[in-house]
Amino acid sequence: MTPLELRADVPALGDGVYLNHGAHGPSPQYVVEAATEFVTDHEFVVPREDDPYRRAFAEFDRTRDRVAASLGADPDEITLTESTTAGINAIAGGIDWEPGDVVVRTDLEHPAGTLPWQRLEELGVEVRVVETEGGRLDLDAYADAVADAELVCFSAITWTHGTVLPVETLVDVAHETGTFVLVDAVQVPGQRPVDVTDWGADAVAGAGHKWLLGLWGGGFLYVDRGIADALRPRQVGYRSVETPTADPFEYATGARRFEVGSANPAPHVALREAIDVIESVGVGTIQSRIAELTGRLADGVPADRLFGPTPPESGLVTIDVDDPAATVDRLADRGIVVRDLPRPGGIRASIHAVNTTDEIDRLLDALASEW
């Protein structure tokens, strides 16, 4: 399958110019159908022919296997969540915090990577924020911040600038002092290859509703098998433990201890289909196509109006305009969908391989009055 063949299968891309995949990637028809078919079967057929729980858990297991294969992990290192936010919160809630403990984050994080730590400040945990410039981390400042920290959380690709952070290096630096590393990877799967083994992080949170073109609710969390059994989730249900009726209970082995109760498998059925579709196009093909399109956009924008690097490092391109909210509205009137950002300001175009050169040119033409 080519990127343009995939585009033809996404109903939302039929009219207008959609450049907001970093927030929400509209799904192909068959991804939605996979979820719909599961729900129809589970509600109309399975109750009289099978055990609904057995069927649901089988679907979870299939998706866990598929996600693990796509990330370079083992299935027992994957827990299925509703979102990246849920995954980050699962880790935050699985550690026994004490007053004076230290959490480090960057100033580039999405609220998913800031709010859980703000909550811990109420318990006496210190939260250190590593300041950045132009979407880049200073490695010396980072090393100083994590030297006595219990945990560090950072994004693999920044939602603000589209910069690709050196995950392996940041992990190595943190591990030198025994700091737990949690990576927000939501902007990576679907536009760049991911191998959590190469990264070496203790935990990686992601979701399928952006670049994978899956549905909302199809999140996932990788937890290294050497770490998982030391974590004690605060939310516990029958899926979290080995034997639900045991007293005292024993947490399930591996990452599955973070799964709680009767969640709807449909978004994860869709996630499995979405991964298959993206891999049928080829992540390398997608990455190259995104680089071509974002390069075309960057070439048409004055250099001093780009918040991120040139050429762009990902599908996320943030542009300085005088009034971001008004510009988003003006572009929407012309059928062009982008978003504004609270930081660093400006508007962000999130360009996927399913976009076209004509769409990039339409955006540039619509922005010409800004310069």
Quote the pLDDT of residue 324: 97
Residues 118 and 214 both lie in one domain? yes
pLDDT at 15: 86
Same-domain status, 197 and 270: yes
Neighbouring CB atoms inside 10 A of 226's CB total: 9
Which CATH number goes with the domain that contains 343? Answer: 3.90.1150.10
Rounded (10°) CA dihedral 36, 39, 45, 46:
140
Q: Scanning the structure block, which residue is given the tokens 């509600």?
A: 43
Closest by CA to 42, choosing from 267, 219, 264, 262, is 264
Concatenate the DSSP letters of all residues of 227-250 into one string.
Answer: HHTT---SS--TTTBS-TT-SS--
Q: CB neighbours (10 Å) of residue 93?
A: 17
- Are 22 and 148 within one domain? no
Domain boundary among the residues 251, 278, 305 is at: 278
End-of-domain residue from the set 260, 278, 296:
278
Q: Which tokens sit at 141?
A: 């400042």
User: What's the alpha-carbon Rg for the chain, to the nearest Å?
Assistant: 21
Residues 249 and 142 placed together within one structural domain of the fold: yes
pLDDT in tens, 30-88: 999 999 999 999 999 999 999 999 999 999 999 999 999 999 999 999 999 999 999 99
The answer to whether 18 touches 368, Cβ cutoff 8 Å, is no
Distance CA 175, CA 196 (A): 15
Q: Domain check: are 290 and 150 in the same one?
A: no
Mean pLDDT of 152-181: 98
Looking at the structure, do residues 293 and 356 belong to the same domain, yes or no?
yes
Q: Are residues 16 and 71 in the same domain?
A: no
pLDDT digit string, tens, across residues 90-128 = 999 999 999 999 999 999 999 999 999 999 999 999 999
Closest Cα to residue 274, out of 216, 187, 223? 216
Confidence band for 26, pLDDT divided at 50, 70 and 90: very high
Regarding whether 204 and 73 lie in a shared domain, the answer is yes
Residue 317: pLDDT band with limits 50, 70, 90: very high
List the CATH number of the domain containing 231.
3.40.640.10
Q: How many domains are there within the chain?
A: 2
Regarding whether 184 and 89 lie in a shared domain, the answer is: yes
What pLDDT, on the 0 to 100 scale, is given for residue 44? Answer: 96
Same-domain pairing of 298 and 245? no
User: Residues 213-258: pLDDT tens digits?
Assistant: 999 999 999 999 999 999 999 999 999 999 999 999 999 999 999 9
Amino acid identity at 175: H
Query: Could you write out the DSSP letters of every residue in 90-126?
Result: HHHHTS---TT-EEEEETT--GGGTHHHHHHHTTT-E
Query: Which tens digit of pLDDT belongs to each residue from 114-124?
Result: 999 999 999 99
Boundaries of domain holding 237: 32-278
Do 232 and 313 lie in one domain? The reply is no
Please check whether residues 184 and 315 belong to one and the same domain: no
Beta-bridge mates of residue 192? 189
Statement: residue 161 has pLDDT above 90 = yes
Q: Which domain-ending residue is among 236, 255, 278?
A: 278
